[in-house]
Amino acid sequence: MMDLSDPATSEHARDVAELVPRVGRLVGIADEELEALELAARFHDIGKVAVPDELLMKPGPLDDDERRVMACHVEWGAELLRHLPGCEPIARFVRHHHERYDGCGYPDGLRGEEIPLASRVIAACDAYGAMMSDRPYRPALDPDQATLELVQGSGTQFDPRAVAAVLEAVDAAEHQSAQG
């Protein structure tokens, strides 16, 4: 469904789903829970199928009303997943992947440890992946700038443990890639 409605979002979700198991292990998520984490990452933006294309593809900033519509994607996605047999457990992770560590996120304003750990991992991986790819409203950031943005959001937007784990996982992947 995502591949058909928005191929760029679908590709981004695949990238996030590739990173989250490595990050999940680093923050202590048990091996038996990593499959649910990976599935939640794969479907974290499924609710965007209900967002109008003109918002998804808008080349400039969203106004307040447009941001409110876009923010609904987490609730729409969680609701969809709640109705799919076997996906009920991941619906909660999808619902909370835009909560902020400081409590200023959405949809429920959860903070810190109130946010499911899987959602905190997805949030950091999602942000890194989004920064590393072209968007309708801006070109991709270089890796150093994306890293700086994550670090600057550590403790406010993102769980510091998740940020440290993303940076460690990305560094390890780059090191492994350079070795051949």
Question: Is 177 in contact with 138 (CB distance < 8 Å)?
Answer: no
CA angle 174, 178, 179 (to 5 degrees): 120
Whole-model pTM: value is 0.91
In sequence order, the β-bridge partners of residue 158 are 154
Residue 51 host element (H or E): none
- Which of the residues are catalytic? 48
Spatial separation of the C-alpha atoms in residues 102 and 159, rounded to whole Å: 9
Strand, helix or coil for residue 27: coil
- What lies within 8 Å, CB to CB, of 84 at 6+ separation is none
Residue carrying structure tokens 């990976």: 38
What phi and psi, each to the nearest 5 degrees, are found at residue 145? -70, -40
Q: In this structure, are residues 97 and 157 in contact, taking their beta carbons and an 8 Å threshold?
A: no
Per-residue pLDDT of the chain (180 residues; tens, 9 = 90+): 555 556 666 677 888 999 999 999 999 999 989 999 999 999 999 999 899 989 988 888 999 999 999 999 999 999 999 999 989 889 999 999 999 999 999 999 999 999 999 999 999 999 999 998 877 778 889 999 999 999 999 999 999 999 999 999 998 877 676 776
C-alpha dihedral over 54, 55, 61, 65, to 10 degrees? 120
Q: Which two tokens stand for residue 105?
A: 């996120």
Tell me, what's the pLDDT at 176? 75
Residue 180 has a pLDDT of 63
101: its two tokens = 């560590």
pLDDT, position 178: 74
The CATH code of the domain at 2-179 is 1.10.3210.10
- What pLDDT is recorded for position 3? 56
Q: Which of 126, 137, 130, 146 is nearest to 66 (CA)?
A: 137
| The amino acid at 164 | A
Domain boundaries, the chain: 2-179
Residue 137's closest CA among 70, 79, 77? 70
